[in-house]
Amino acid sequence: MTDAPARRPEPARRTEALESLLVERGLIDPAVMDKFIKTYEQDVGPLNGAKVVARAWTDPEYRERLLAEGTAAIKELGFAGPQGEHIVVLEQTDEVHHVVVCTLCSCYPWPVLGLPPSWYKDPAYRARVVREPRAVLREMGCEVPEGKKIEVWDSSSEVRYLVLPQQPAGTEGWDAEALTPLVTRDAMVGVATVTSPTEAGP
C-alpha cells in the first residue's frame, strides 16, 4: 500500500471542487482552512494521544481508568470534542495485538489522533486488514509473531478506538514528558509498535 493512491477517490475530488467554488465566491478563506487542517493534523492530533499513552505508562491508576472508561479518562487531560464522544482503549499485550480499522468509511478519534491518514481511508487497507491482518501489518513494517493473536476492531460513528501500545524496553522509570515523543500515531492505531531510542537506532 502507498500513502497516496494513484487516483484520488471521487469524494476527494468532489471536496476539492466544492472548496474551490467556495473560495472563488469568497465564502471561505483558504488560509483559515489551512490553519484548521494543520491544527487537527499537528496540534489537536497525535500529540494528544501520545500524552494519554505516556500518562498511562507512568500512572497505574490513570491506566486503569483509561482502560475502564476511555472517554472520561481522556477528558481528564483536556482532550474531548467531535469524533471523540465514545472512545474505547485497547491495550497491547504479549498475547494479543490490536489493530483498528473503519470498514465503512473513516471513523477515527480526532481529539487524540487528529485527522485520519490517507492509508486509513484507503479501500485496500479497510478491506484487507480484516481478511489478512498479519500480512497487511507486515507490509506496513509491523511484524507480529505467529504465536500472537491479532484482533481487528471496526470503528463506527458510535464507538472509536485508541490502542495503548506496550512501553518499550529500556524506558522504565522515564517520566511522561520523556516518553511522549516516542509514541506515534501508527502505534495508537495498531499498525506499528513503539520503539525505544536505542532500538530505533541513531
Decide: 137 and 99 in contact? Cβ < 8 Å. yes
Q: Which of 20, 105, 118, 156 is catalytic?
A: 105
* Cross-strand partners of 151: 98
3-state helix, strand, coil in the chain (%, to 5): 50, 10, 40
The set of residues, in sequence order, having a beta carbon less than 8 Å from that of 70 and lying 6+ positions away, is 87, 88, 89, 162
DSSP class of residue 181?
A: G
Mark whether 107 is an active-site residue: yes
Mark whether 106 is an active-site residue: yes
C-alpha cell at 123: 479501500
Q: Which of 106, 118, 156, 196 is catalytic?
A: 106
C-alpha cell at 127: 478491506
CA dihedral 129→131→135→140, nearest 10 degrees, is -10
Q: Residues with catalytic annotation?
A: 102, 105-107
